[in-house]
C-alpha cells in the first residue's frame, strides 16, 4: 500500500503519481487529506502537508480528485487518511457519505481514539465505508481484541513508537506481530519505516500489506515524480 498527500506537489502531480503507482503494481493506495497539524507524521510527510496547503489544497478539492482517481483506476482500492478535525469540521455523516460517493473503500483517522469514535464509526458503517484501526506495540492484548471486534478491511500495525519516516528495525517485530495475528483474523498491514526492498522481503509471511509512505515522498523531493514508478517497482522486484 502506498501513500500520497493530495495536492502535493500539486493536484495534477498527485494524479500523475497515482498513475505511476498503479502502473508499477501497487495493491491499494492511501490518499491523505492535508492537515496543518498531522501529529502522526514525521518531517517528510509534514512538509508535504504544508506544501499542499500553501498551494491551496482544500477538502472539497481532495474529494473531487479522489473521485477522479477511483474512476481512473477502478480495480485499485483507495482509502482516505486524515485527522479527525477534518472529518469533524466537514460533519461526520457528510464526510462518510462523501467518501462513499467518491468511491473510496475505507478511512484511517490515526488521532481518533477507538473508545471515543462511536458516532463517527456509526456514520462510516451507514455509508458502507470501512474504518481502518491501528495497533501499536503499546496496545494491550485486551485492547487489540476490542479493536478487532470493530475493525473492517484490515488492521494497520504501527511498527514502532513515534511518527512516520524514522528508521525501523523490522527484525524485532516478531513478538508484536504474533500478538496482532492472535487478536484478529483480518489482514495485517505494517507501516512506519518501510523504505526499501529488503524491508518488504522481511515482512513476507508476517503481514499481508507493507505500507510505504515517507520513502516515496523522499524520492519525489530528491528525484522528481518521474522516479516514483521505478522506486515502487524496486520494492517488489
Q: What is the pLDDT of residue 236?
A: 81
Check if the beta carbon of residue 26 is closer than 8 Å to that of residue 232: yes
Tell me the pTM.
0.90
What pLDDT digit, counting tens, does each position of 133-156 carry?
Answer: 999 999 999 999 999 999 999 999
Q: What is the pLDDT of residue 163?
A: 43
Return the CATH number at 6. 3.20.20.70
Q: List the catalytic residue out of 41, 98, 123, 199.
A: 41
Residue 78, SS3?
A: strand
Alpha helices in 6-42 (DSSP H): 11-23
| Nearest of 59, 8, 221 to residue 16 by alpha carbon | 8
Q: What is the pLDDT of residue 37?
A: 80
Mean of the pLDDT values across residues 16-36? 95
Residue 199: give the domain boundaries. Answer: 2-236
Q: What is the pLDDT of residue 233?
A: 95
Q: Between 125 and 160, where is the model more confident?
A: 125
Q: List the catalytic residue out of 13, 30, 125, 196.
A: 30
State the cell numbers at 71.
474512476
Check if the beta carbon of residue 117 is closer than 8 Å to that of residue 109: yes
Count how many residues are written for the chain: 237
Q: What is the tally of structural domains in the chain?
A: 1
Active site annotation includes 41: yes
Q: Which residues contact 157 (CB under 8 A, 6 or more apart)?
A: 134, 135, 136, 176, 177, 180, 188, 189, 190, 191, 207
What pLDDT digit, counting tens, does each position of 184-213 carry?
Answer: 999 999 988 788 898 888 889 999 999 998
Amino acid at each position: 500500500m502506498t501513500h500520497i498527500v493530495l495536492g502535493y506537489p500539486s493536484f495534477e502531480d498527485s494524479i500523475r503519481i497515482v498513475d505511476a503507482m498503479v502502473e508499477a503494481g501497487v495493491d491499494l493506495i492511501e490518499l491523505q487529506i492535508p492537515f496543518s497539524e498531522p501529529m502522526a507524521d514525521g518531517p517528510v510527510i509534514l512538509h508535504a502537508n504544508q506544501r499542499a496547503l500553501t498551494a491551496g489544497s482544500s477538502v472539497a478539492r481532495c474529494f473531487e480528485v479522489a473521485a477522479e482517481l477511483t474512476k481512473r483506476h477502478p480495480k485499485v482500492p483507495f482509502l482516505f487518511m486524515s485527522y479527525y478535525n477534518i472529518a469533524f469540521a466537514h460533519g461526520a455523516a457528510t464526510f462518510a457519505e462523501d467518501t462513499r460517493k467518491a468511491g473510496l473503500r475505507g478511512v484511517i483517522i490515526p488521532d481518533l481514539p477507538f473508545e471515543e469514535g462511536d458516532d463517527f464509526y456509526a456514520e462510516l458503517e451507514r455509508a458502507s465505508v470501512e474504518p481502518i484501526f491501528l495497533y501499536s506495540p503499546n496496545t494491550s492484548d485486551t485492547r487489540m481484541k476490542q479493536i478487532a471486534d470493530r475493525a473492517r478491511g484490515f488492521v494497520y500495525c504501527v511498527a514502532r513508537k513515534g511518527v512516520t519516516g524514522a528508521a525501523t528495525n523490522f527484525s524485532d517485530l516478531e513478538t508484536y506481530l504474533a500478538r496482532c495475528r492472535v487478536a484478529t483474523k483480518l489482514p495485517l498491514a505494517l507501516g512506519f519505516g518501510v523504505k526499501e526492498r529488503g524491508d518488504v522481503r522481511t515482512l513476507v509471511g508476517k503481514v499481508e500489506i507493507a505500507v510505504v509512505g515517507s520513502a516515496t515522498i523522499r524520492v519525489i523531493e530528491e528525484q522528481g515524480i518521474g522516479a516514483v514508478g521505478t522506486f515502487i517497482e524496486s520494492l517488489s522486484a
